[in-house]
Amino acid sequence: MNLEFDKPIDRKGTASQKWEKYGNSDILPMWVADTDFMSPPCVMDALHQRIDHGVFGYTNVPNELNELVIQRMQELYNWQIEKDWIIWLPGLVCGLNLACRAVGGSGDQVLSPKPIYPPFMSSPRLSDRTVATVSLKESNGHFILDFEALEQSISEQTKLLLFCNPHNPGGSVYSQAELEQLAEIIIRHDLYICSDEIHCDLILEESLKHIPVASIGEEISKRTITLMAPSKTYNIAGLGCSFAIISDLQLRKQFINVRKGIVPDVNLLGYTAAIAAYKDGDEWNKKQLNYLRENRDYLIKEINKIPGLKLLPIEATYLAWIDVSGAKLSNPAHFFEQAGVGMSPGRDFGDGNYMRLNFGCTRETLEEAVRRIKRALANELPA
pLDDT (average), residues 212-217: 98
Which pLDDT does position 14 carry in this prediction? Answer: 94
Secondary structure of the chain in HEC code, one letter for each residue: CCHHHHCCCCCCCCCCHHHHCCCCCCCEECCCCCCCCCCCHHHHHHHHHHHHHCCCCCCCCCHHHHHHHHHHHHHHHCCCCCHHHEEEECCHHHHHHHHHHHCCCCCCEEEEEECCCCHHHHHHHHCCCEEEEEECEEECCEEECCHHHHHHHCCCCEEEEEEECCCCCCCCCCCHHHHHHHHHHHHHCCCEEEEECCCCCCECCCCCCCCCHHHCCHHHHCCEEEEECCHHHHCCHHHCCEEEECCCHHHHHHHHHHHCCCCCCCCHHHHHHHHHHHHHCHHHHHHHHHHHHHHHHHHHHHHCCCCCCEECCCCECCEEEEECHHHCCCCHHHHHHHCCEECEEHHHHCCCCEEEEECCCCHHHHHHHHHHHHHHHHHHCCC
User: Taking CA 119 as the corner, what is the angle to CA 329 and CA 286, rounded to the nearest 5 degrees?
Assistant: 90
pLDDT (average), residues 236-261: 98
- pLDDT tens-digit series, residues 18-39: 999 999 899 999 999 999 999 9
Which pLDDT does position 2 carry in this prediction? Answer: 73
- Short-list 227, 149, 223, 220, CA closest to 180: 220
Helix 282-303 × helix 363-380 angle, to 10°? 20
What is the C-alpha separation between 30 and 319, in angstroms, rounded?
Answer: 9
What is the C-alpha separation between 225 and 246, in angstroms, rounded?
Answer: 5
Which pLDDT does position 3 carry in this prediction? Answer: 73
**Residue 194 CA: distances (Å) to CA of 184, 351, 356:** 15, 22, 23
Which pLDDT does position 372 carry in this prediction? Answer: 97
- pLDDT tens-digit series, residues 346-372: 999 999 999 999 999 999 999 999 999
Phi, psi values for residue 270, rounded to 5°? -65, -45
Which pLDDT does position 383 carry in this prediction? Answer: 44
What is the C-alpha separation between 281 and 110, in angstroms, rounded?
Answer: 36
What is the C-alpha separation between 335 and 184, in angstroms, rounded?
Answer: 44
Cβ count within 10 A of residue 354: 25
What is the C-alpha separation between 339 and 362, in angstroms, rounded?
Answer: 19
Which pLDDT does position 63 carry in this prediction? Answer: 98
- pLDDT tens-digit series, residues 36-92: 999 999 999 999 999 999 999 999 999 999 999 999 999 999 999 999 999 999 999
- pLDDT tens-digit series, residues 132-191: 999 999 988 889 999 999 999 999 999 999 999 999 999 999 999 999 999 999 999 999
Which pLDDT does position 381 carry in this prediction? Answer: 63
Rounded percentage of the chain residues whose pLDDT exceeds 90: 96
- Any idea which of 7-11, 220-224, 363-367, 379-383 has the lowest mean pLDDT? 379-383
Phi, psi values for residue 332, rounded to 5°? -55, -45
Cβ(273)–Cβ(43) below 8 Å: yes
**Residue 16 CA: distances (Å) to CA of 10, 22, 127, 270:** 10, 11, 29, 17
Which pLDDT does position 5 carry in this prediction? Answer: 96
Query: What mean pLDDT is reported for the chain?
Result: 96
